Amino acid sequence: MAYTITLIPGDGIGPEVTAAAVRVLTATGLDFVWETVLAGASAIGEEGSALPPRVLESVRRNKVALKGPTETPVGTGHRSVNVDLRKQLDLYANLRPVKTLPGIKSRFDGVDLVVVRENTEDLYSGLEHVVVPGVVESIKIITEKASTRIARYAFDYARTHGRQKVMAVHKANIMKLSDGLFLDCCRAVAKGYPEITYDEMIVDNTCMQLVLDPTRFDVLLLENLYGDIVSDLCAGFIGGLGLAPGANIGEEIAIFEAVHGSAPDIAGKNLANPMALILSSAMMLDHLGETAAARRVREAVYAVLAEGKKLTRDLGGTAGTTEIAEAIASRVEKR
C-alpha cells in the first residue's frame, strides 16, 4: 500500500531537513508518494501567499503531512503559517515527547516526559487591538470545549502509552477565570481515568521544578502559550532543538514537524541537524500504524548518536545534514 503524504519543505533549513527525512523514510522500504507544496516565506515569493489554498487542500485530502519549519516575521508581516495551519485544520493537540537520547551529554539522565499543548486558542487567537495610543489589549480565549478536548487527548495518550501521571500546568492563582476554567475541565476529565494520577502545578513553579529535576515529570498538559515556552525549555534537556520532535494532531488530520524554527543563521549550509525531523517522521510512522518501521528509524538515530562519530555542529561534530541522513538511512536499510 502506498502512503500519499503532503510534504511542506518550508523556509530556511526546512528544505534540507525535509530532504533528509524523506531519504530516511524511503530507506524503510515503505511506499511513499510525496505531494510537495510550498508554504511560508518561500510561498509568498512564488504564489503570493504564505499559506496558499492548495496547501490546505492537499493536507485535507491526504490527512497526513510532514512539514519543515516556516519563517514567521516578528512584529509585522504575514501571520504565522503554523498558527494558521493549526487553526484552519483544527489540529488541536501539539505533542512533544522529550526523552534522553544515547550519547548526548546533558544535565540529566532518564528524562522521559511528554508535553501536550493546546494548539488552537489562548493568547494565540490573534485578537489584539490598540485601545488608545500607547495601550494595547491582547485577548486570551479559553473555552470549555477546547480545554476538555485537550485534557481528554492527554489522558488518552497516557492510557495508550502506559504513562502514569498527568500534570496540568496553569496560573489560575492570577487568571482565576481563564486558567480556572482550564483546570475545571482537566479535573472533570481526570475522573474518567482513575488509573492515572492527576496533579496540578503553577507554571512558574513548574519551570523551576523542571530545571531542578525533569525526571519526576511524565505527561504535562498545558494551554497554548505555557506549552510553547515549556516545550522549548524541555528541548534543552535532551541536547537542544536539533533533537526535539513534534506533531500537531486533530480528529482526522496530523502534521509532523520538529520543534525548531527555520534557523536562518545556518540555512543552505548543510549544517542543520535533521534528527529532530527524522524523529518526527518516526512519530508519523507510528501514526500510520507502521510501528516496526518507526522503531527501526528511532533505533537508527540512537545508534548514530551512541556511536558519536557522525554528528552535526550543534552536537559538537563536523558532519553535514546529508551525511547524517545517509548514516541513519543506511542503518535503517540494514535493520
245 vs 81, 234, 273, 276, 308, CA distance in Å? Answer: 18, 11, 12, 5, 20
Is 67 part of the annotated catalytic residue set? no
**Closer residue to ligand ATP in complex, CB, 118/314:** 314
**Closer residue to ligand ATP in complex, CB, 219/319:** 319
Place of cell 529535576: 213
Q: Which residue of the set 63, 67, 87, 171 is catalytic? A: 171
Is 171 part of the annotated catalytic residue set? yes
227 belongs to the binding site for ligand ATP (CB under 6 A): no
DSSP 16-47: HHHHHHHHHHHHTT-EEEEEE---SHHHHHHH
> Contact 272/17 with Cβ under 8 angstroms?
yes
Is 228 part of the annotated catalytic residue set? yes
| CA nearest neighbour of 68 among 108, 11, 113 | 11
Rounded Cα distance, 153 and 157, in Å: 6
Residues 6+ apart with CB under 8 A from 297: 24, 25, 28, 278, 279, 281, 282, 285, 328, 332
How many residues lie near ligand ATP (CB under 6 A)?
16
Q: Which of 9, 10, 68, 242 binds ligand ATP (CB under 6 A)?
A: 242
Rounded Cα distance, 40 and 60, in Å: 18
Give the nearest residue (CB) to ligand ATP. Answer: 261
Q: Which of 248, 273, 280, 281 binds ligand ATP (CB under 6 A)?
A: 273
Q: Which residue of the set 145, 204, 269, 334 is catalytic? A: 204
69 belongs to the binding site for ligand ATP (CB under 6 A): yes
Choices 89-97, 197-205, 255-263, 298-306 (CB under 6 A): range interacting with ligand ATP: 255-263
314 belongs to the binding site for ligand ATP (CB under 6 A): yes
Rounded Cα distance, 71 and 82, in Å: 9
**Closer residue to ligand ATP in complex, CB, 69/227:** 69
Rounded Cα distance, 20 and 17, in Å: 5
272 belongs to the binding site for ligand ATP (CB under 6 A): yes
Q: Which residue of the set 124, 153, 226, 302 is catalytic? A: 124
Choices 102-110, 169-177, 182-190, 264-272 (CB under 6 A): range interacting with ligand ATP: 264-272
**Closer residue to ligand ATP in complex, CB, 71/223:** 71
**Closer residue to ligand ATP in complex, CB, 18/262:** 262
